[in-house]
Structure 1
C-alpha cells in the first residue's frame, strides 16, 4: 500500500508546460484500471491541463465532456490545449491527450462565472445510513489499483454481481488527506463498480466510451467540505452492446456536488 502524501491526486495532476498550450507529464501505476489508466483519472488529467492553461480566475469549471479513444498507459503523456471560444460569461476549451504519440482522449470543458439567479433543487439527497466509527470499508474486488486509494461503504446494492436492479451507491472517501475539488469529483464519477454489474450474473465487462460531468458546487463551497462523499448511480438501458449510467455525487450534509452521465461498451 502507498505511503500517502498530503494530496495524492494533486501530485498526479501537475503538468510541465513545454510550449504554449502543450503540457507533458509521466503517468505511473497509481491510477491504473483494467489495462489502462482509469477513466476518471484520465478526465481529471484533461481538466487539470485546461485549468493550468486558463488564466481567468473568475471562471470555474462548469462542465466536462471526455471521449476515450485509446488506452492511456504508464508512460509520458502529452496534453494539447486550446481555447475554442472566450466570452464574457463562459470560456470553452478543448484538450487532446496523447499516449504513445496517439490521441487517446479528447475533452471539452466550459469554464463559467456563477450567479445565484433562479436557484432551486428538485432532487432529493440520498438517505444513506452514516458510516459508523467501527465500520470497516468494503473493497471492490475487480482488480483496479485506483480503488486502493479510497474507502467504500456500499448502501444501495453491493459490489457483487447479479444481486438486483442496476442501482448502486454509498459512501466513498479518499484514504489520503484530500481536499474536495472538481478534480476529485471527476475521478469519483468513474470510480464505483458499474451499476450494470449488479444486474448481470455472467462475466460481462465494460469499457468507457464517453462521460459528461456537470459541476454544481462552486470552488468556495467545495473547499469547505470534508471529502466524505455520497454517490448513487443507475443504468436505465443496456442494448446494442452498450450500456448507459447516470450518477450523482453529494456532500456529507446533502449538497449536490455534481451530476454525470456516461456510455460504456459491453464486451
Structure 2
C-alpha cells in the first residue's frame, strides 16, 4: 500500500517522536532529541514511543493503528541525533497484527521490539477488573518535579507531580516503600493517546529512590500492555517493586486515565542504581 505522511506537529512530543518514511517500505528516519536525556542515555519510554510510532505507521496500513502489547529490549544507550527504524510485518491478521521493530544509530542496534497492534476503537467496551486506582493526593497538593533543580532534562518535557507520600528521598529520608505514584500529562495541552502511554509507563522516578538507592536505573527489558484509548486529562501513575535481587529490580506500572479506567499496564526489569 502507498504510505502517507503528515509532517504537521501538534506538540513537542509529536515532533520529538516523529518518524519519516523512506522510499523503502518499512524503513523510517528519526531525529532523537537531546531533551529526553536521563542518566547515560535517552529515556526508555521516549525510545519506545518513537519506535512504537514507526510500527504504528506500518500497522496502520493493515487496519491496526494502535499498540496493544510491546515487549522491548534495550541493547545499547541511545544518543541524541539521527536514527533509523526498521519495521517488519510478521503476521497480518483480521483483528491483530504482529510486527517487529528495531531502532539503530550508525548501524548499532539501540532497541528492538516485538509487538501486537489492533484498532483499540473496535474492541469490546466491557471491563472487569479487581484493580483500584492509586489513592493520590489532589493534583494541586502534589509536588511538580520541575521544581527540582536536579531533575533530569527529560522531566521538563511533561508535567509530573509526585504524591507527597513518595517524597521521603527528596529530604534524605527515604520511606522504605518501593512505591512511586504521581500525576502525569504532556506539556503544551497535548492530550494522551496510545503512543504517549508508552512514555507514561516509564515517566516516574525509579521506586529504588524510596529504598535509598537514587540514580540512573537503565532498563534491560520492558513490556507494555495498552488496554484502551485514554480519556483527556491527567493520567494517574503507580510503580511498585516487590523484588530487588542480583543487582536488578522489577517495576510494575499502572496507568489510569481521568475516567478512572486502567488504560495501560507495564513491567520492566532494570539495573539497580548504586545509590
User: TM-score with structure 2 length normalisation?
Assistant: 0.85
1:189 aligns with 2:197: no
After superposing the two structures, state which structure 1 stretch, 111-120 or 171-180, moved more.
Answer: 111-120
User: Conserved in 2, the CA contact under 8 Å of 1:213 and 1:259?
Assistant: yes
> 1:203, 1:127 → 2: CA distance?
24
Q: Secondary structure at the match of 2:47?
A: helix
1:129 deviates by 2.4
The runs of 5 or more residues in structure 2 that have no matched partner are: 1-8
1:112-140 superposed Cα distances (whole Å, 9 cap, x missing partner)? 254328631211112222223x8762335
Is 1:157 paired with 2:166? yes
SS at match of 1:42: helix
Report whether the alignment pairs 1:68 with 2:74: yes
Match of 1:16 among 2, 17, 20: 20
Using the alignment, how far apart are the partners of 1:203 and 1:180 within structure 2? 29
Kindly tell me the number of residue pairs found equivalent between the two proteins: 256
Q: What secondary structure, in the 3-state scheme, does the structure 2 residue paired with 1:264 have?
A: strand
TM-superposition CA deviations, 1:5-29 (whole Å, max 9, x none): 8411111122122211111122231
For residues 154-195 of structure 1, give each alpha carbon's deviation from its aligned partner in whole angstroms, at most 9, with x where no partner exists: 224125363221011021222222021122111111111001
Alignment of 1:32-181 (within 5 A): 32-54=37-59, 55-58=61-64, 60-113=66-119, 114-116=122-124, 119-132=127-140, 137-139=144-146, 142-155=150-163, 156-158=165-167, 160=170, 162-181=174-193
Matches within 5 A, 1:199-218: 199-200=211-212, 202=213, 205-218=216-229
In 2, Cα distance between equivalents of 1:29 and 1:117:
39
Q: Is contact 2:224-2:267 (8 Å) kept?
A: yes
The 8 Å contact of residues 14 and 48 in structure 1, kept in 2 or not, is answered as yes
Sort the Cα spacing of 1:135 and 1:72 in 2 relative to 1 into closer, same or farther, 3 A.
Answer: closer
Question: Per the alignment, in what secondary structure is the counterpart of residue 146 of structure 1?
Answer: helix
Query: What is the match of residue 250 of structure 2?
Result: 244
**Cα pair 1:33 1:143 within 8 Å, conserved:** no
* TM-score, L = length of structure 1: 0.88
Return the offset for 1:204.
Answer: 5.6
The corresponding residue for 2:240 is 234
